[in-house]
Amino acid sequence: MSKQEFTIEDLKRILLEGAGADEGVDLDGDILDADFEELGYESLALLETGGRIEREYGISLDDEIFTENRTPRTLVVAINTYLGELASAA
């Protein structure tokens, strides 16, 4: 059973659990349109984050999910799109 909605709060929590936060980066600040790289998350941190999202939401993400979605805002939209497709297929 997968959850229905993925929020920015979910993303922040998963980022913190899987990869922590860089010094000088406030995840509670205005990060929605910041590039993940600017926030200090390199490819491996994003791979770990993607794996955690997949496990928690019972979904399988494309390898390109983070190359196509460089900011928290677009990533949250993309994941919700997956979740929506999953729900309507069910």
Task: State the residues that interact with other proteins by CB under 8 A.
Answer: 16-23, 40, 44-45, 47-48, 51, 54-55
CA 53/CA 79 separation, integer angstroms: 9
In whole angstroms, the minimum distance from the beta carbon of 48 to other proteins comes to: 4
Which of 10, 54 has the CB closer to other proteins? 54
Q: How many CB atoms lie within 10 A of CB 62?
A: 11
Q: How far apart are the first and last CA of the chain?
A: 10
Q: Which is nearer to other proteins, 10 or 56 (CB)?
A: 56
Distance between CA atoms of 37 and 6, rounded to whole angstroms?
Answer: 21
**Least gap, CB of 72 to other proteins (angstroms):** 17
For residue 17, give both structure tokens.
Answer: 């659990």
Nearer to other proteins, 45 or 88 (CB): 45
| Shortest CB 69 distance to other proteins, Å | 18
